[in-house]
Structure 1
Amino acid sequence: MAVALLAPALSPTVGGAIVDHSSWRWVFFASLPLSLLAALLSWCWINAERSAPPPRPDLRGLLLVTASLGCLLLGMSLYGSGYPAHQAAPGLVAGLLLAECYRRHCRACARPIVELRLLKNPRLGLSVAIYHAIPGVFTGVNLLSLFFLQESLHLSAQHSGMFMLLYAAGALLAMLACGRLYNRLGAAQLFAIALVLHSAGIASLYGVDSLTDLPLISLAYLLMGLGGGAGANTAQTTALLDFDGADTHKASVIWNINRQMAFSLGAALLLMLYNLLLGYRGVTGAYHLSLLLAAAAGLLPLLTLNRLPPPEASHAQLDR
């Protein structure tokens, strides 16, 4: 996971420099050589394995899951862009209805693409929630902050992106510490520390309203990095502990889908919230209130930490 920090640490600064000194289109052109290099290395290094033919994929489930997520994101994006309720609400309603259709399909299907019953496992279920509360919420907070720093405080795109270097430094320190402390403290204590640090960083941004607050912004990103690194690392370590055999593969599908979904939902939800508040408050007021609500939402998993088995307990068993 430390290697995965390179992109979020460097890309905002590099991308900001490209936008400031050239066209925003070059942000996409610049990623093309790296994408082609990754494809070439994959072709050269990954060997094809011969195995038994895989079972028939759950195409109906795949369509229901993707359509549900797409409709939910579309509905929130329309709300966030100022569209009237009668245009945005159908997307949200359709997303919820499709999600319910998938839940029923999952119960009747022998091999569903996403095995929802595995979420009953305390470690996986809580790790999924943590990923929404920390990396998911941070994605929305960071996107909102970048707009505020550039549009209201008139920072350049490059300077705005450089705060992610502090986030990455804090996250790296937290990941290294969690690797040493996981077996000693246990997941519950590390989750609690991560949630508090991350929400404290978000709440710190409440005091930002001018360029004189740059030290406070730096502190906020460092705290969010510490909390984000600790939370993501602990969740990654904890999520699949209780699974073996075929269930490991099924649980990893849930985990990987959830990681990507958390980023999208966090960004859409925070921007929707901000734009709704913008109608009642000014730009700065809507920004500050959105951050306070995000910080509060990020603490919600604290209420469920008692569901985790104690560190010395054996891995929980799923109900078959």
Structure 2
Amino acid sequence: MSYRVCVASVYLLAFFIDLVNMFIANVAYPAIGQQLQATVSQLAWVSNGYILGLTLVIPLSRWLATRMGLKRLFILSLLIFIIGICGVASAAQIETLIAWRVVQGLGGGLLIPVGQTMTYALYQSHERARLSSVVMLVALIAPALSPTIGGVLVDTVSWRWVFLVSLPLAFVALLLAVFWLKSDGRLPRSSQLDISGLISGCLALTLILLGLTAMSESDHQNLGTICLLSGAVMMGWYVRNSLRKTQPLLNLRLIQEPMLQTSMLIYQLVPGIFTGVSLIAMLYFQGQLGMHATVVGAMMLPWAIASCTAIAITGKKFNDVGPRPLFISGALVQGLGIGLLPLIGSANDVILGIAAYALMGFGSSLCSSTAQSLAFLQIKDTELADASAIWNINRQLSFCIGVTIISLLLNVLLNMSGVQQTQAYHLCFVLAAVSAVIPVMLCRRIANRSVILTLNQEKR
């Protein structure tokens, strides 16, 4: 097995572990709430605390890599992650559990950008589409398997094993990192840590995440608005100061690179919107139509199959047709799938629901895998660490922003006079489907022929 395959394997295993821990906790909420006497808002922070830890530590990843080297930092991240797992599994109070989830997120947040930097540096641009397809396949498998595995563990053992199940995989990743990774992945050393950038950037991200979380809850929208606006102001101040510095915490000028910028926007507008639509679709199916949870959960099976198909197509066709037709096709197919949701009027319309989820899975995954392939196409190897950190922050925020936008839209429609609950859901789905026009228009800025020529020249 070649060295780059070894590095990619370690990275993908770490990525899988990170995603499992992001999605597996939801199924344990009732058991955690009963044993630790936790409120609904506290239970929400079992996941939000992990996402917060992930997001806050990502900007620091490049500076730490310059001081420690990529291999040492990757190993340290795994150790922090393992300590976090043990802390979460042994927590006797909900506050302690949330605190340990933040610690766990700090470890997981370093794993992804560091592993991505090491891996992508070993693959040329024309080879990254297939690599990205494998990455997206892992990103598909983890959310599909996590709830099922977690449910079995909660029913047969304890909710604590929902978190402990990652421990063996984390130890395997640790051993592979120690023996497989070379100690030559050190980045150019920067002179000093941008302390003011670290504080302002982390504070801005914290306020934004708190605001997005609170705004998605109808009882805390005012507080959420204040936090979000404060975070946006703080983020603006951070960006303004970072662009003036020669050695900022993150090289935000990379966002001006057209391929990375477009990929980030597409990720927000397609996979991000799907996350929000999927959430309210679950509420609609069970709360309004009375579908059984088992039937609703089974709709993820055609979603997963369609997603696998889309990822395979991206890996095979990206270098030949370029990103534009893949993006446009994915956005339109997802819009069509969302557009089918208002047509589901009873618990018997299961076939229509399966078709909707299959289309949404195909469209969303076609866009996300294409975005992953395009994002780093023009990024230099020396800038991969910053680009990877920026990309992963955007990916984390897309989940929160998508849920917040769709939830807010639904709440506005529900509070409109003369609009019934079912009508509010239908209007929300229609508006979300129409939003597919935005990424389609955005694709006009992509120099598709130039991308194809660049990829073909590298092959030669």
TM-score tier by shorter-chain length is 0.7 to 0.9
C-alpha distance 13-38 of structure 1, shift in aligned 2 (>3 A): closer
C-alpha distance 52-228 of structure 1, shift in aligned 2 (>3 A): closer
How big is the shift at 1:175? 1.1
Q: Given the alignment of the two structures, is residue 94 of structure 1 paired with residue 219 of structure 2, yes or no?
A: no
2:306 aligns to what SS in structure 1? helix
Question: 1: distance between equivalents of 2:423 and 2:206?
Answer: 30
2:143 aligns to what SS in structure 1? helix
1:211 aligns to what SS in structure 2? coil
The one of 18, 24, 29 equivalent to 2:160 is: 29
The one of 36, 40, 54 equivalent to 2:171 is: 40
The code of the aligned residue for 2:377 comes to L
- Which residue is equivalent to 2:265? 129
How big is the shift at 1:202? 1.0
Q: Given the alignment of the two structures, is residue 301 of structure 1 paired with residue 439 of structure 2, yes or no?
A: yes
Matches within 5 A, 1:135-150: 135-150=271-286
| Contact 2:342/2:426 (8 A) holds in 1 | yes
> Greater shift after overlay, 71-80 or 46-55?
46-55
How big is the shift at 1:315? 5.4
> How many percent of aligned residue pairs carry the same amino acid?
32
| Contact 1:133/1:299 (8 A) holds in 2 | no
> How well do the aligned residues superpose, as a CA RMSD in angstroms?
2.6
How big is the shift at 1:184? 2.0
How big is the shift at 1:54? 4.9
- Which residue is equivalent to 2:351? 215
How big is the shift at 1:312? 4.0
How big is the shift at 1:39? 2.0
- Which residue is equivalent to 1:235? 371
The code of the aligned residue for 1:204 comes to L
> Greater shift after overlay, 300-309 or 233-242?
300-309
The code of the aligned residue for 1:68 comes to A
| Contact 1:242/1:315 (8 A) holds in 2 | no
The one of 402, 414, 420 equivalent to 1:278 is: 414
> Greater shift after overlay, 298-307 or 232-241?
298-307
The code of the aligned residue for 2:205 comes to L
Deviations 1:93-117 (A, max 9, x none): 2021111111112112333333221
The code of the aligned residue for 1:32 comes to F
| Contact 1:9/1:167 (8 A) holds in 2 | no
Between Structure 1 and Structure 2, the one with more helix by share is: 2
C-alpha distance 80-179 of structure 1, shift in aligned 2 (>3 A): closer
| Contact 1:16/1:161 (8 A) holds in 2 | no
Question: 2: distance between equivalents of 1:92 and 1:284?
Answer: 30
The code of the aligned residue for 2:260 comes to L
> Greater shift after overlay, 92-101 or 107-116?
107-116
How big is the shift at 1:132? 0.7
The code of the aligned residue for 1:168 comes to A
C-alpha distance 306-278 of structure 1, shift in aligned 2 (>3 A): same
Question: 1: distance between equivalents of 2:333 and 2:166?
Answer: 34
Question: 1: distance between equivalents of 2:222 and 2:146?
Answer: 38
Question: 2: distance between equivalents of 1:57 and 1:137?
Answer: 36
Deviations 1:116-165 (A, max 9, x none): 21121111111001111121111111111112222222233333222111
Question: 2: distance between equivalents of 1:9 and 1:97?
Answer: 37
| Contact 1:174/1:229 (8 A) holds in 2 | yes
> Greater shift after overlay, 278-287 or 139-148?
278-287
Question: 1: distance between equivalents of 2:199 and 2:303?
Answer: 36
- Which residue is equivalent to 1:159? 295
C-alpha distance 65-209 of structure 1, shift in aligned 2 (>3 A): farther
Question: 1: distance between equivalents of 2:278 and 2:290?
Answer: 16
Question: 1: distance between equivalents of 2:362 and 2:187?
Answer: 44
The code of the aligned residue for 2:139 comes to A
> Greater shift after overlay, 70-79 or 213-222?
70-79
Q: Given the alignment of the two structures, is residue 289 of structure 1 paired with residue 289 of structure 2, yes or no?
A: no
Q: Which runs of 5+ in 1 are unaligned?
A: none
Question: 2: distance between equivalents of 1:143 and 1:16?
Answer: 19
Deviations 1:197-253 (A, max 9, x none): 111111111212311221111001000111112111111111100011322222111
| Contact 1:141/1:267 (8 A) holds in 2 | yes
Question: 1: distance between equivalents of 2:220 and 2:311?
Answer: 43
Q: Which runs of 5+ in 2 are unaligned?
A: 1-135, 456-460
Q: How many residues align?
A: 312
How big is the shift at 1:181? 1.4
The code of the aligned residue for 1:278 comes to L
| Contact 2:242/2:252 (8 A) holds in 1 | yes
